[in-house]
Structure 1
Amino acid sequence: MAARSAAFLGSSPVAPSVTQVAGAMVPSSRLLSVQVQSVHHHFQAYFQALDGAATQDVSQILCPSWRNAVERPFLWFGDLHPSIFVNLLRSFLLRSHGQGGGSAAPGDISPPFADAWKDPSPRLTAEIREIECRLRRRVPQIVQLHRRVQASFTERAASEFKEHGEVSEEAAAAMTAELAGLFFQANRLRKSVLEDILEVLDVCQAAAFLEALCQLVLRLREEKLLLQFHSCRAPLPSSAW
């Protein structure tokens, strides 16, 4: 299941959808709306696939050996941190106000979508701020729950090891169940943040945002970028050992 999840966003549905969204703008706004919904559905299906994998074995999601070294810094409870969605959205607003050193949209967003972010309304700016505030409240709550789970398991494991010389399967199973619950909460947050963002955008803004998000996901898995990453890593000094 983890292998299928790993390949899901790198498989054919994403790349064609990005191309179709970019090409649909000119001939038909209705077609564009359909393509936006299609890409959104693809992400939702991916999140559901992660839920399924976590149900079977949450360790393969929280400790993903199938993620590459470029992806891992962006992960939070098994997948992209939801703040990445908001930060990506915020980048469009910054450019629309002449900040960030760019034009109205990131440089490699399809030209038909550039005008969608030239003059965002005050209402949109306020709604994006509300999404950010909700995210800032929710993320620390999940992190705090995670710390409590870790502390509880550590205390129980230490007590059992002191008394019996080993940690019981029941303790490990309880820990696994708690971690799975935390993952499901984090994944629901990812889903809801993406949904909230798309609800406040018009179809052209949503197309630009989703195209940028797809490009980000695909580039994190580019072989060329991964090779560059590995070639730039400096060796640890011998004194560190």
Structure 2
Amino acid sequence: MSMTGGLGTRRQTNAHAGSIEAFLEGWLVRQEHYLDELLSTQQHCHEMRDEDLKELISRILAHYQEYYEEKSRMAHRDVFLVFCPTWFTSFERAFLWIAGFKPGLAFRLVTNAVDDLSEDQRQRINKLMGETKMEERAFGHELAKIQESVAAPPLLELARRGWRLANGEISEEDRVLDAWKSALETLVANADSLRMNTALKVVEILRPAQTVRFLAAAAQLQLRIRTWGLQREAERQE
């Protein structure tokens, strides 16, 4: 790759990162507002109708959907950046599993935040947890296969030789890289789908008042991890 091409790629990467950073900044402000609303609602659930609780829940789920839609666009532009997101602190990145939180985290949040599950709810949650773990393992194996393919010929040999055709044609290296990026993009999309679908299925099992506690716990954990991450980075710079 020429120096000019390398600079162009870096500029493009920086532009992509800046785009999602701007989105995330606004999204997190709204997340904090939703958390305030959830905590307030949690204190007055017994006074509110289920219809009102469901309306709040619907708005918050749509808020998460906005994030996944933006992330999908980012993955299409630069899937490698999604795997190592510069818009998160190093502490936040330590919690990532296939470019996001592990779907099974939802069940720990339910355990910690919802202490009044019925026996039927408990059985349905346990069944869903088993299904989710199976899918997590399958995706983990798929990621390992993709990573192994990067180190295996012909890509490794091509990388060593630095093959790149000068006449503008697509080289074999480019074809392999494109296939690799496509596989990663598909894996991220499937992992995000599992994350969102797991949360939606949990919400279907819980009663509205229980869901408010579940969503509040999820938002609190996310924002707390971000705050800790920012504090750590600030301390390193002192």
RMSD: 2.2
- Equivalence map 1:1-80=2 (5 Å): 1-7=19-25, 9-12=27-30, 14-24=31-41, 25-29=45-49, 30-80=51-101
Give the distance between the partners of 2:40 and 2:159, measured in 1 at CA.
62
Give the distance between the partners of 2:23 and 2:108, measured in 1 at CA.
24
- Equivalence map 1:98-117=2 (5 Å): 117=116
User: Cα deviation per residue 1:2-24 (whole Å; 9 max; x = unaligned)?
Assistant: 32453354122x22222223334
Give the distance between the partners of 1:150 and 1:35, measured in 2 at CA.
41
Q: Say if 1:8 and 1:46, in contact at 8 Å, map to a contact too.
A: no
Give the distance between the partners of 2:95 and 2:162, measured in 1 at CA.
38
Give the distance between the partners of 2:203 and 2:28, measured in 1 at CA.
22
Counterpart of 1:150 in structure 2: which amino acid? Q
Q: 1:141 to 1:45 in 2, by over 3 A?
A: same
Larger RCO of the pair (alpha carbons < 8 Å, separation 6+):
2
Is residue 200 of structure 2 the alignment partner of residue 179 of structure 1?
no
User: Cα deviation per residue 1:10-44 (whole Å; 9 max; x = unaligned)?
Assistant: 122x2222222333425422322211111121112
User: Which consecutive unaligned segments of at least 5 residues does structure 1 have?
Assistant: 97-116, 233-241
Q: CA shift at 1:137, angstroms? A: 0.4
Q: CA shift at 1:201, angstroms? A: 0.3
Is residue 139 of structure 2 the alignment partner of residue 139 of structure 1?
no
| TM-score, normalization by structure 2 | 0.77
- Identity among equivalent positions (%) equals 20
Give the distance between the partners of 1:130 and 1:181, measured in 2 at CA.
26
Please list every run of at least 4 consecutive aligned residues from structure 1 whose deviation after the TM superposition is greater than 4 angstroms: 228-232
> Where does residue 199 of structure 1 map in the other structure?
204
Give the distance between the partners of 1:225 and 1:182, measured in 2 at CA.
27
The structure where helix makes up a greater share of residues is 2
| SS, match of residue 127 in structure 1 | helix
Is residue 176 of structure 2 the alignment partner of residue 159 of structure 1?
no
Give the distance between the partners of 2:53 and 2:159, measured in 1 at CA.
60
Q: Say if 1:21 and 1:207, in contact at 8 Å, map to a contact too.
A: yes
| SS, match of residue 76 in structure 1 | coil
User: Which consecutive unaligned segments of at least 5 residues does structure 2 have?
Assistant: 1-18, 165-172
| TM-score, normalization by structure 1 | 0.76
